Structure 1
Amino acid sequence: MNASATNAPADADAPVAMQVAAVQMVSTPDVGENLNAAAELIARAADDGAELVALPEYFCFMGRADHEKVAIREHDGDGPIQDFLSGQALRHRVYLVGGTLPLVCPDPDRVFNSSMVYGPDGTRIARYDKIHLFNFRRGDESYDEALSIRPGGEPVTFEAPLGRVGLSTCYDLRFPELYRALGDVHLILVPAAFTYTTGKAHWETLLRARAIENQCYVLAPAQGGRHPNGRSTWGHAMLVDPWGEVLDVVPEGPGLAAGTVDPQRLAEVRAALPALRHRVM
């Protein structure tokens, strides 16, 4: 497992409560427009007291065709989108999770779909390349992320004052074995761009299931609305607690789903129902 402890609390065994926010956007094919929209929402979240802010999948770019993301790919550690994320984290002194952005991969016609995490000092502390690639065909709807994305292969966590945080992206949500591979985490992040069809059917159910079975918080930023490329995303960015209760949700359009990740609440749930200790496989 690839994990980074940069900016971790001095006593990793004593996590503290943190205010968190999931950003919901309706991204477009214009990178500059999207970064400006993200900046406004990050500032709102920070002004409201958020200490960790997470952007949705494809926050920086929702092209009119899958292959268009290849044209704006960046090299790891170098590029305007990564500079934006680092600068915003430093400016607002927050942990900032850049939902996903396209990074160079060994295949010339594909990219990694990567989540990047920056600490309050602007330093990058984690990178996760989306492992499971969405493929859906029904009627006129057809998606195949593998045409333009190369899958990652390693689960990733990082340390924050609230405890260990596990990274995942969108379609990963359907694969519980990934979350078990993260180990003992206090918070799972799921930046997503769920389609309207699959989101309406499964999004909340899956988020609550991951929270319940891992007895941790789940923060899920989302794309939510009708995009210029004609795609409709489900939205419903939300924060779910370890008992599976939805603490906040944004149904549609730009906004913030925010709340507190409270280690005491997490400990209470795990003490009352010690399911993690009862695992035998």
Structure 2
Amino acid sequence: MSDLIAIQINGSPSIAENLEKLDSLLGHARPKPNSPALAVLPECAIQFACCGATILENAENMGQGPIQARLANMAQKHNVYLVGGTMPIKSNDSAHYYAASLVFSPAGKLISAYNKIHLFDVEVQDKTQSYLESKFTQRGEHIATFDSPWGKVGQAICYDLRFATMFDAMMPMNIVVIPSAFTKATGQAHWHALLKARSIELQCYIVAANQVGTHQDGRETFGHSCIYSPWGELLSVIENEEGWASARVDSARQLSIRKRMPMQSHKRERYKFE
């Protein structure tokens, strides 16, 4: 049975519809969940393709609320460490929410929370053209990690992927999870290149779960949810449909890669120009 799972959906504005779809896909990916796995949902897995004001209305307090209760239940039901994509969590500013990636243990306990640091305020050559995530989203301040049976796991979200120094700060992680809603245009150009680079730089497994297809608001996302090895190998990918990618963790091979090329001990904290 696989250790790592990246779930891919075409998210809608309906919270109930998305949760049912995610629960069903996890059930198919985990038919006999005797041992735990690490499962990652996409960014905006709970609600997508609607305005930020609507998402803000559904923001919950950290640690309580029906959405968090359902995610906790899914983690227990499918015996997974569940990285719940992202969902809106209330901030100290009533006009903004945190895009929070919450992690639940197989016991249904909330064990980690990461608020997205880098917000997608960009121009893209697609149908949407202009993205202004900061209009309703409060920027996070801290990176987050959690313990798992496969070692330390680092958390990032979508646009974070472009900022190498954030990942450098995570070293050494055994796994990095990246819930995403990468656009079709930027995904075609950079998705696999960035994921492969991060896996090589950190010598870790990368589990990247993305949204896919054309959504109700016309937005197009790239799909290609996938898992990369610590040597930069593409272990599994689901391209243009809903479903999942999955792979096994080979801890001995990861350790061997790090011993043969000890990048962590070679890294310098500061680099200077002459």
Query: Residue type matched to 2:195 in 1?
Result: L
1:79 alignment partner AA: G
Give the deviation of 1:48 after TM superposition.
6.3
Structure 2 residue aligned with 1:221, among 203, 209, 212?
209
1:31 is displaced (CA, Å) by 0.5
Give 1:105's aligned residue.
Answer: 91
1:71 aligned partner, one-letter code: E
Instruction: Name the count of aligned residue pairs.
Output: 265
Match in the other structure for 2:60: 74
Instruction: Give the alignment of 1:156-167 within 5 angstroms.
Output: 156-167=144-155
Candidates 5, 11, 19, aligned match of 1:35: 19
In 1: Cα distance, 2:82 partner to 2:204 partner: 20
Aligned counterparts of 1:131 and 1:238: Cα–Cα separation in 2:
22
The corresponding residue for 1:19 is 3
AA matched with 1:98 = G
TM (normalized to structure 1)?
A: 0.91
SS of residue in 1 equivalent to 2:248: strand
The equivalent of 1:54 in structure 2 is 40
Q: Could you list the per-position Cα deviations for residues 46-68 of structure 1 after superposition, in whole angstroms to 9, with x for gaps in the alignment?
A: 22656111101000101322322
**Structure 2 residue aligned with 1:246:** 234
- Is the counterpart of residue 263 in structure 1 residue 251 in structure 2? yes
Give the superposition deviation at 1:183: 3.1
Instruction: Kindly provide the CA deviation profile for residues 16-66 of structure 1, in whole angstroms up to 9, marking residues without a partner as x.
Output: x97110000110001000000000011122226561111010001013223
Distance 2:61 2:23 in 1: 22
Match of 2:272 in 1: none
Q: Which amino acid letter does the alignment assign opposite residue 221 of structure 2?
A: T
Q: Which residue of 1 aligns with 2:80?
A: 94
| Higher RCO (CA 8 Å, separation ≥ 6 residues) | 1
Contact 1:29 1:62 in 2 (8 A): yes
8 Å Cα contact 2:152-2:174 kept in structure 1: yes
Q: Which stretch shows the higher mean deviation, 25-34 or 72-81? A: 72-81
The 2-side partners of 1:226 and 1:63 are apart by: 9
1:205 paired with 2:189, answer: no
Mapped to 2, the partners of 1:241 and 1:68 lie a distance apart of 38
- SS in structure 2 of the partner of residue 157 of structure 1: strand
| Aligned match of 1:10 | none
Gaps of 5+ in 1: 1-16
Give me the TM-score of the superposition, normalised by structure 2: 0.93
Q: Is the 8 A contact 2:171 2:264 kept in 1?
A: no
Q: Deviations over 1:123-175 (max 9, x none)?
A: 11000000000122145511011011001111110000100000010000011
Q: What is the root-mean-square deviation in Å for CA atoms of aligned residues?
A: 1.5
Q: Percent identity of the aligned residues? A: 37
Q: Distance in 2 between matches of 1:272 and 1:48?
A: 36
Alignment partners' CA distance in 1, 2:116 and 2:51: 19
Contact 2:226 2:238 in 1 (8 A): yes
SS at 2:63's partner residue? coil
- Which one-letter code corresponds to 2:106 in the other structure? P
Residue 254 (structure 1) shift: 0.8
1:115 paired residue among 88, 98, 101: 101
Asked if structure 1 preserves the Cα contact closer than 8 Å seen for 2:114 and 2:144, the reply is: yes
- Counterpart of 2:174 (choices 159, 183, 186) is 186
- Determine helix, strand or coil for the equivalent of 1:268: helix
Q: Deviations over 1:177-213 (max 9, x none)?
A: 1112223110000000001111110010000000000
Distance 2:246 2:95 in 1: 37
